[in-house]
Structure 1
Amino acid sequence: MLDSTPDFPDLLERVKEGYARLPMQAQRVARWLAERPDDVALLSTREQARALGVAPATLTRFAKHFGFAGYDALRGVSQLRLRARAAAFAPEARRMVARRSASGAHALAEGVLDAISANLDALRDRKTLASLQKATRLLSRGRRIYVLGSRSSYPIAYHFFYVASFGGAPVVLVDGPGGIGIDALRGAGASDVMFAVSVAPYTRATVEAVAHGATRRVGVVALTDSPLSPLAARARAVLTVPTATPSFFHSMAAAFALAETLAALIVAERGPQAVDATRRADQELRSLYAYLDANRGARKRARVAKGKP
């Protein structure tokens, strides 16, 4: 039995660490816990078992595996989370402010940077590199690559889209102007793929778009923070990143790094086609004067100095 009752994030972390070793039905319960924590808190054990298509005893065994007396005790952890949910970021902000008051701004900054460095170092392990290769193969075979991410994940998705487009990859940004973002998925099918980004707290629009794509047999690559993420359950390839930080807001540095690496791998996979596409992009951007040209400015100043327009 547990020495003390964990809070919900601690419980999820323990489940995540043991997920790969769980039997198949217990993995289904683990995903339910991660994806539907409100239902875990509010529905009875029998109702949840019915929704999952398992026996109530499966839920009891799952709870006992993680040190609870029974499933109702595990539900109690989710119920506490539900009561505290209204202030999701505020408690972390209070802790961060208290840490700054106690240790100073220098220590807080150092802690944030140390966490970012550790998160980036974690991406070098063999499992992540193998997952990157799998994701690259899947996305490179797609007729179209739909790219989506919302809120803090949007910059990650956009940067991936922007870099991959330079190399001629057939990327389509599923964006939201006018509220028609998901309309971009009209006509998506089995020959298409999707790169979706979301970390906890998971954005509803992204989760629903991934579910919609999966029903149309679109191959999903998920960049997320846990194998228990609602995106992971629908994905053919999963890239997981750490988001821990002393800041009040989850860190997206590792997600940015992994998306940038994936874009580079996809462009490299295209070989000579990518070189040609990049050359054309260079020419077009030069013709549009998209970037400041120091030499052009110097030439203009020289002409003005000589009295020429």
Structure 2
Amino acid sequence: MATATHLAELQQQIRHRYHDLSKRLQQVAHYVMDNPNSIAFDTVAVIATHASVPPSTLIRFANAFEFSGFNEMKQLFRKNLVEETSSYTERAKLLQHRKGEHQSLDTPTDVLMQFSQANAVALQEMPSTISSELLNNAVTLLENAETIYVVGMRRSFSIAAYFAYALRHLERRVVLVDGFGGMANEQMALVSERDVVVSASFPAYSEETVLLCERAAASNAKQVVFTDSQVSPLAANSDVCFVVKEAEVESFRSQAASMCLAQTLAVSLAFRLSKSG
């Protein structure tokens, strides 16, 4: 395995090797994938504390991916931040400003204000974290699919229901796998390599969704995933993995960013189909 020269390449290597790593190294992988700013700027000692591992484990993690040390791996994260847009900087300023404020949630207006501000930040950040390549690849898969299966259980069901609704208005053959009557497996019975499975799941991940994605992989179906991390259980078998960072207020997670992404894919597909006649 060659040493990664770009952050995206390293993230891909971590995703593919995640299940072969020891539990300690998996713990580091989670932190590394989910906290790129910390990896770029914090010291090894601080990162080790936040990841709840000894500093030596960080060095072993870097060595496992052919780096001479953890600081060498850190350079990929710093380089990536330099190349990114300023949206992260603007977000950091906003969050720092809000840390000094008293965030009251005593009234519905307070709750609305906090969710509105948090969602605004999440939506502003999303274009800088989701590449045009991922978007184009997902739209191409949807365009060429014989049947599109949409899976989203529990709190992700609203995302799946909207996406299935939008695709049906584009005259796509769509199956919303809702598991009604315990029939999820039957709803996926005919999935094949000609199809695309679009799934959404966030912590705590839906066991039903994970199992259905594994079934799709066994049938060689293409998969487009909405999730929260490159090492989520849905990511391993995905062809396109969208890591969506949702806004959160007092542990209540929003769905605004995921809905925005679903609408983006549906409308992009509509324009693609109109151009192709």
Shorter-normalised TM-score: what interval? 0.5 to 0.7
The reply to whether residue 124 of structure 1 matches residue 127 of structure 2 is yes
Letter in 1 for 2:104: R
In structure 2, the CA distance between the partners of 1:158 and 1:99, relative to structure 1 (3 Å rule), is same
Instruction: Tell me, in whole angstroms, the C-alpha distance in 1 between the residues paired with 2:248 and 2:27.
Output: 34
Instruction: Kindly report the root-mean-square deviation, in angstroms, between the aligned alpha carbons of the 2 structures.
Output: 3.5
CA displacement, residues 203-230 of structure 1 (integer Å, 9 cap, x when unaligned)? 1100110011011100000011221211
Moved beyond 6 Å, runs of 4+: 55-65
State the TM-score, normalizing by the size of structure 1: 0.58
Residue in 1 that maps onto 2:104:
100
Give, in angstroms, the shift of residue 107 of structure 1: 4.4
Q: Is the 8 A contact 2:146 2:173 kept in 1?
A: yes
Residue in 2 that maps onto 1:229:
232
In structure 2, the CA distance between the partners of 1:264 and 1:185, relative to structure 1 (3 Å rule), is same
Question: Which one of 184, 192, 195 corresponds to residue 195 of structure 2?
Answer: 192
State the SS of the aligned residue for 1:196.
Answer: strand
Residue in 2 that maps onto 1:168:
171
Instruction: Tell me, in whole angstroms, the C-alpha distance in 1 between the residues paired with 2:55 and 2:164.
Output: 48
Which protein has the larger Cα radius of gyration, Structure 1 or Structure 2? 1
Bigger Cα displacement from structure 2, 223-232 vs 155-164: 223-232
Q: Is the 8 A contact 1:112 1:246 kept in 2?
A: yes
Question: Which one of 1, 7, 10 corresponds to residue 21 of structure 1?
Answer: 10
Bigger Cα displacement from structure 2, 123-132 vs 109-118: 123-132
Give, in angstroms, the shift of residue 61 of structure 1: 9.2
Q: Is the 8 A contact 1:128 1:239 kept in 2?
A: no
Give, in angstroms, the shift of residue 270 of structure 1: 2.2
In structure 2, the CA distance between the partners of 1:234 and 1:107, relative to structure 1 (3 Å rule), is same
Q: Is the 8 A contact 1:195 1:220 kept in 2?
A: yes
Q: Is the 8 A contact 2:126 2:244 kept in 1?
A: yes
Letter in 2 for 1:164: L
Give, in angstroms, the shift of residue 100 of structure 1: 3.5
CA displacement, residues 138-166 of structure 1 (integer Å, 9 cap, x when unaligned)? 12111111111011111111111111101
CA displacement, residues 64-97 of structure 1 (integer Å, 9 cap, x when unaligned)? 99532556xxxxxxxxxxxxxxxxxxxxxxxxxx
The reply to whether residue 143 of structure 1 matches residue 146 of structure 2 is yes
Residue in 1 that maps onto 2:248:
245
Instruction: Tell me, in whole angstroms, the C-alpha distance in 1 between the residues paired with 2:201 and 2:276.
Output: 30
Give, in angstroms, the shift of residue 118 of structure 1: 1.0
Residue in 1 that maps onto 2:261:
258
The reply to whether residue 216 of structure 1 matches residue 205 of structure 2 is no
Q: Is the 8 A contact 1:168 1:267 kept in 2?
A: no
Instruction: Tell me, in whole angstroms, the C-alpha distance in 2 between the residues paired with 1:260 and 1:209.
Output: 23
In structure 2, the CA distance between the partners of 1:106 and 1:239, relative to structure 1 (3 Å rule), is same
State the TM-score, normalizing by the size of structure 2: 0.65
Letter in 2 for 1:226: S
Instruction: Tell me, in whole angstroms, the C-alpha distance in 2 between the residues paired with 1:114 and 1:272.
Output: 37
State the SS of the aligned residue for 1:146.
Answer: strand
Q: Is the 8 A contact 1:169 1:267 kept in 2?
A: no
Instruction: Tell me, in whole angstroms, the C-alpha distance in 1 between the residues paired with 2:27 and 2:119.
Output: 38
State the SS of the aligned residue for 1:120.
Answer: helix
In structure 2, the CA distance between the partners of 1:56 and 1:129, relative to structure 1 (3 Å rule), is closer
Going by fraction, where is helix more abundant, 1 or 2? 1
State the SS of the aligned residue for 1:234.
Answer: coil
What number of residue pairs does the alignment pair up? 210
State the SS of the aligned residue for 2:225.
Answer: strand
Identity of paired residues, percent?
A: 25
